[in-house]
Amino acid sequence: MNFKDNKAIYLQIADRIGDQILSGVLVPEGKVPSVRELAAEIEVNANTVARTYDHLQQNGVIYTKRGLGYFVCPEARDKIVASRRDQLMQGEMDYFLGQLKAVGITPAELQGLYQEYLSK
Amino acid sequence: MLSINNISFSYNKRSGDLFHDFSLELNAGNVYGLLGKNGAGKSTLIYLMTGLLTPKSGEALLDGVNVRKRLPKTMSDIFLVPEEFELPRLSLKQYVDINAPFYPNFSKEDMQRYLDIFEMDDDMDVKLQALSMGQKKKVFMAFAFAANTHVLIMDEPTNGLDIPSKSQFRKLVTTGMTDDKLMLISTHQVRDISDILDHVTIIDQSRVLLNTSFADVMNKVAFRPLREGDQPLFVLQSPYGPLGAVPAEEGEETKVDLEMLFNATLQNPAAINQLFTTSK
């Protein structure tokens, strides 16, 4: 079971929307599908999608215009990057560092690997 | 919206009550999953809810009206898709022409849309008898959804559907569901429908073991690899090590695993009951 397998569905949907914002499928001030549209598209209960939208609204990723639906916040991209950084630091990094330790990769080796990765 | 009040029911006197003083309240805007072991009484409960069986005592009310009176206004507002059914020797067009008038909110456009979701031919002259079992089910369900009744009850809707149609069925529900409708799906195929439910009702002979929203389940039970010191409600062995349903810690939210929840509820009804009746 990896980190994503047992993540609450409403958060998996939030990740999906986050991905779409980062990749430019959804743009700042652009319209987000309605709760019902997205629920039908991804075959998930509408209340679950509504919960995703509440969550994204609270985190300043989307906002609602009365009667018009949901839109992407201008600063959505920064918010998503910041929250993913938190998520990485809290959960996955710990696991990753544990694996490094278990197979005996030294900090110097790690630094080398990361630098190599960045220069690709 | 649909209230089952203190129903008692038995098929015959010697076998005793299948339901005894059974009550359940179902509200509009929800997709309910009705789960129970074989013989737990799911289908019987559905027939009691829809006025097809008469309880010994108690009543099922739709918006305050006893469904057993089978008044036109009740019957035109409930649609039941049973697990097995026969379709008459008619063309699809004849079938729709004859049956649609019973349902004031029936929409031909919706019917077309739902047939499209199931990737069924839009040939309205097709003979119903010429269809395979799975195709009959799709046509009947397209009609059931297009009838736009406030109550739609389905008994094992994904049985007999091929693999792609299970996803199409989910699309049918998420497309057809609105806030003023109540849908209830009775099933053993929990993996097929888990994501489209917002409420889970687990019954076992006369008792409602669990009746709560997915949001509530997520707050109270976590489904994940077991850790030291966990007091699991249910344990499942897996290639990754033991997984379990455990009381959720503050702020811990995981994907609801309906199968584990069901097994935990049957194995440990008292612990589940305590977890869900005490507020956090």
The interface predicted TM-score (ipTM) is 0.84
Which residues in chain B touch residue A4, judged by CB atoms under 8 angstroms apart?
Answer: none
- Residue A48 to residue B174, Cβ atoms within 8 A: no
Selected for mutation to probe chain A from B161, B174, B214, B246 (highest A CB count within 10 Å) is B174
Token pair, residue A87, equals 């998520």
Nearest residue in A to B183, CA atom = A45
How many other C-beta atoms can be found within 10 angstroms of the C-beta atom of residue A87?
14
> Is the residue at A48 inside a domain?
yes
Token pair, residue B68, equals 């057993």
User: What residues contact residue A40 under an 8 Å CB cut-off, 6+ apart?
Assistant: B171, B174, B175
> Is the residue at A113 inside a domain?
no
- Residue B195 to residue A9, Cβ atoms within 8 A: yes
Which residues in chain B touch residue A11, judged by CB atoms under 8 angstroms apart?
Answer: 253
Bridge partners (DSSP) of residue B152 are B79, B183
> Is the residue at A65 inside a domain?
yes
| CATH number for position A47 | 1.10.10.10
pLDDT tens column, B239-268: 888 999 999 998 899 999 999 999 999 999
Q: Look at chain A and report how many structural domains it folds into.
A: 1
> Rounded to an integer, what distance in angstroms lies between the CA atom of residue A74 and that of residue B234?
45
Which residues in chain B touch residue A46, judged by CB atoms under 8 angstroms apart?
Answer: 174, 177, 198
Q: What is the pLDDT of residue A4?
A: 57
Digitized pLDDT (tens) for each residue of chain B, 280 residues in all? 999 999 999 988 777 888 889 999 999 999 999 999 988 889 999 999 999 999 999 999 999 999 999 999 999 999 999 999 999 999 999 999 999 999 999 999 999 999 999 999 778 889 999 999 999 999 999 999 999 999 999 999 999 899 999 999 999 999 999 999 999 999 999 988 999 999 999 998 778 999 999 999 999 999 999 988 999 999 999 888 899 999 999 889 999 999 999 999 999 999 999 999 875 4
Please check whether residue A64 touches B, CB under 8 A: no
For residue A96, is it left (φ>0), alpha (ψ between -120 and 50) or beta? Answer: alpha
- Residue A8 to residue B254, Cβ atoms within 8 A: yes
Which pairing describes strands B243-247 and B221-225: parallel, antiparallel, or unpaired? antiparallel
- Residue B167 to residue A43, Cβ atoms within 8 A: yes
CA geometry: angle A7, A12, A16, nearest 5 deg: 155
- Give residues 189 to 208 of B whose Cβ lies within 8 Å of A: 195-198
Domain that holds residue A25: 9-77
Measure in Å the smallest separation between the Cα of A48 and chain B Cα atoms.
8
For helices A9-22 and A35-42, angle between their N-to-C axes, nearest 10 degrees: 100
Token pair, residue A101, equals 């330790």
For residues A47, A91, B238, B159, the Cα torsion angle rounded to the nearest 10 degrees is: 20
Please check whether residue A1 touches B, CB under 8 A: yes
The answer to whether B261 and B221 are in contact (CB under 8 A) is: yes
> Rounded to an integer, what distance in angstroms lies between the CA atom of residue B170 and that of residue B189?
13
Token pair, residue A85, equals 């950084």
Going across the sheet that includes B199-204, the strands are: B78-81, B151-155, B182-186, B31-35, B199-204, B207-213
Q: What is the pLDDT of residue B279?
A: 58
> Rounded to an integer, what distance in angstroms lies between the CA atom of residue A26 and that of residue A30?
6
**At residue A106, does pLDDT exceed 60?**
yes
> Rounded to an integer, what distance in angstroms lies between the CA atom of residue B247 and that of residue B14?
41
Q: Which among A84, A93, A95 is positioned nearest to A114, based on CA atoms?
A: A93
CA geometry: angle B63, B67, B70, nearest 5 deg: 125
Which residues in chain B touch residue A51, judged by CB atoms under 8 angstroms apart?
Answer: 215
Q: What is the pLDDT of residue B39?
A: 84
Please check whether residue A11 touches B, CB under 8 A: yes
For residues B145, B151, B157, B163, the Cα torsion angle rounded to the nearest 10 degrees is: 50
> Is the residue at A112 inside a domain?
no
Q: What is the pLDDT of residue A3?
A: 46
> Is the residue at A92 inside a domain?
no
> Is the residue at A104 inside a domain?
no
Q: Which among B19, B23, B4 is positioned nearest to B56, based on CA atoms?
A: B19
Signed CA dihedral, A112, A113, A119, A120: sign only: positive
> Rounded to an integer, what distance in angstroms lies between the CA atom of residue B140 and that of residue A84?
46
pLDDT band of A1, cuts 50, 70, 90: very low
Which residues in chain A touch residue B197, judged by CB atoms under 8 angstroms apart?
Answer: 45
Domains of chain B as residue ranges with CATH: 2-205 (3.40.50.300), 211-277 (no CATH)
> Rounded to an integer, what distance in angstroms lies between the CA atom of residue A46 and that of residue A34?
10
**At residue A80, does pLDDT exceed 90?**
yes
Which residues in chain A touch residue B214, judged by CB atoms under 8 angstroms apart?
Answer: 45, 47-48
Q: State the distance between the two ends of chain A, measured CA to CA, in whole angstroms.
A: 30
φ, ψ for residue A38, nearest 5 deg: -65, -40
